[in-house]
Structure 1
Amino acid sequence: MKTSDFNFNLPAELLAERPSEHRDEARLMVLDRAKQTIEHKLFKDVVNYFDENDLFIFNNTKVFPARLYGNKEKTGARIEVFLLRELDKETRVWDVLVDPARKIRIGNKLFFDKEETLLAEVIDNTTSRGRTLRFLYDGSYEEFREKLREIGNTPLPKYIKREAEPEDAERYQTIYAKVEGAVAAPTAGLHFSKHLMKRLEIKGINFAEITLHVGLGTFNPIEVEDLSKHKMECEETIIDQKNADLINKAIEEDRKICAVGTTVMRAIETSVSSNRRIGPYHGWTNKFIYPPYDFGIANTMITNFHTPKSTLLMMIAAFAGKDFVMEAYEEAIREKYKFYSYGDAMLIL
C-alpha cells in the first residue's frame, strides 16, 4: 500500500468548524462489512446495533488546555506555546511547539501572565518548531498545574480557524474523560451523551475503559510514499487488569466488541497476545495500523471521518477494507457529512 492510495478530494466546507447542536444527534453512517451495505442514521441510533452483554471500549483520556500564549522578554512578541508532553515533573520541563518558531532560541524567556508569576526558559531545540521549556513558578506542583489550566486554551485542531470559545472546553472533551494527559480529544467519543450512555446501560451493554493520551503525532502528515517507512510518534497507554478482564470475558462469550475510536484500537492492538487475549499494560505505543492487518480484539468500531492520506483513514481501511471505505467516503462527500474532529461518525459492523 502507498500513501497516495488514500488520497481523495475533500471540499473545505465539509471540515467541521463546530460540533453538532447535541452530541448524539450528529449523523452516523453505518457500514456492514459482511453485507457491503451503507446506511444513514443519527448517532443516537447506535444503540440499535448492539445487544445485552456486548461491550464498548472507551478511551478515558482527558484533554488539558495545552495551548498557551506568552510574551517574549524584552520585545514582548506574542508566542503560541503548545504543550506536548511533560518530561520531568520535579523540574517542570516540557516538550512544546512554538509559533512563530524563528523568534524563539535557547536562553529566551517567556512570560505568561501580567503578574509574571509564571515564566518559562527555553533550554533546548528539538525540531524546527519544537522546543524544550523549563517552567518557573513559585508554588507546589498542584498549584503549577492549576495555573496551566487557568491560562491555557482548549487545543482545537489547527484546521479550525476560529479562536477557542467557552463552549469548546466542554464539547472538545468526552463526557467520560477522567485521566488528564491528552493534547487532542479522542473524537469518536465526543458523540456520546449522558442520555445515550444511560440507554446503552439499560439495554445491558457493558463498558470497559482504557487510557491512551492522544498526542499531535497521530495527525502528522505522512512524508513517505512507502507506508512501511512511516514512523508514528509514541503515545502513553494504560490498560488495567479490571478492564482487561472485561474485554477478555467478552471475547470468550463471542460478544460484539466495539472500539470507540482509533485510539482505542491502537491501544488494544498494542497489548493483544498471540492467543487473542488482552493483558494489563502501561507503556508507550507507536503502532501504525494499515492494510493488510489482522485485528485481534474488536469486531466493530466507531470512528469519525478522516482527512486524505491520514494514518487514521489507513487504520479504518485496514478494518473495513480499503475499497469499501473509499466508496463510503465518496458517498459521505456526496451526502455532505462533516469531517474531522467535530464531524459526523461512522459505525463499522
Structure 2
Amino acid sequence: MSRLKKGIGALFVASALLAGAFAYWAYDRYTAFAGTPLGGIEAGESLVVERGDSLPRVLSRLRALGVGAGMDVEWQLLARQLKAAGRIQVGEYALEPGVTTPRTLLEHMRDGKVLSYRFTLVEGWNMRELRAALAKARPLRQTIAEFDDAALMQALGRPGLHPEGRFLPETYVYTRQDSDLDVLRRANADLEKALDAAWKARAPDLPITSKEEALVLASIVEKETGIASERPQIAGVFARRLKLGMRLQTDPTVIYGMGSAYAGNIRKTDLLADTPYNTYTRDGLPPTPIAMAGKDALAAATRPAAGDALFFVAVGDGSGRHVFTRTLGEHEAAVRAYIQRYRAQYGPK
C-alpha cells in the first residue's frame, strides 16, 4: 500500500474518531442539560406563558427571571424530542429550586400542567362576605367590583335572581387566567346540581313545596347550626313549626334583615321591628336565603330528622350544642339554664 493511501486511511480513521468523540461529547452535554435542575431559581417563582408566545420568547422571559437556561439550540432539540415544539400551552408554571429541569418544564408546558390556586367559599357566608373574600384572592383576576347584585347575576346568566345563597360552599381550584366571575359561575352551577340532588331525594311529607323554599330553609339551618351533626334536628324543629303554622322565630333571619345596622347584639326592639326577614313578626320563610348553605344543610332541609321538639337553645358551654325541647315551659327552663352558664363563664349578659 502506498504512503498516500496509508495517509488517507489514517486521516479517515482519525476523522471518524474525532466525529465519534464529538458526538459522544454533544450527547453527554445534551443529556446533562435536559436533566440538570435550572440554576438561579428563587423559592416561589413561576414562569408565565402568554398567548402567542414562542419558545424563544419563553426562554427570554425565563432568563429575565435570572434563571440559567442554557442555549436556545439545546431547548429546541429537547422540545422536538419531547414533541413540545409548537405545543406550549398558555398558563403559569411553577419553578422549583433544585427540582425544575429543562425536561420537566417543557413537559409541563406541553401538557398544560399549570400552577393552580385555591379559593374556599365558607358555609354560612353571606354575599357581602363572599365579595370581600374574592376581592382579596390573588392572583384571581378581579372583574366584579363595579357590579351590583343585579349586574352580577346578569353576567352569570341568571338575570332577576337574588344572589344570596346561590353559590355552593366548596374549595375551588383556579389558575392565574381565571377571574372572580369564573369562580362564581362554577359555584353557582355546583349549587344548582346539589340543590337538584337534595330535592330529588326529599322526604315525602315536607312542609315546603319547591326547591327555592328548600334553599331558604337550608340557609337558616346553616346559620343556626353550631355542630354539623345537629343540622337534621334543627331542620326538624323548623319543619314541624311550618306544619303547625308557628312562626320560625330564628335570630339569624332578624340579623340578616337588619343589614349594616346589626352591631353584634339583638335587642328586644330589633325582634319587634318588622322586616321581610323578621321571622318573629312574619309567618313562614323569609323571601330569600340568608347565607350560603352547604350540601349537608341542603340534605337536612329536605330530609329533616323526626321528633317532637319545637324549640332549641344553645347549651352555653362553648361546645356549639343545643338543647331541644317540646314545650314552651321546657324551653324557658333551658333558656334560664343557658343564661346561668353564660354568666358563670363570661359575666353578666
Range into which the TM-score falls when normalised by the shorter chain: under 0.3
> If the length of structure 1 is used for normalisation, what is the TM-score?
0.20
Q: Which has the larger helix fraction?
A: 2
If asked which structure has higher relative contact order (CA below 8 Å, sep 6+), I would say: 1
> If the length of structure 2 is used for normalisation, what is the TM-score?
0.20
Q: Which has the larger strand fraction?
A: 1
Structure index of larger Rg: 2
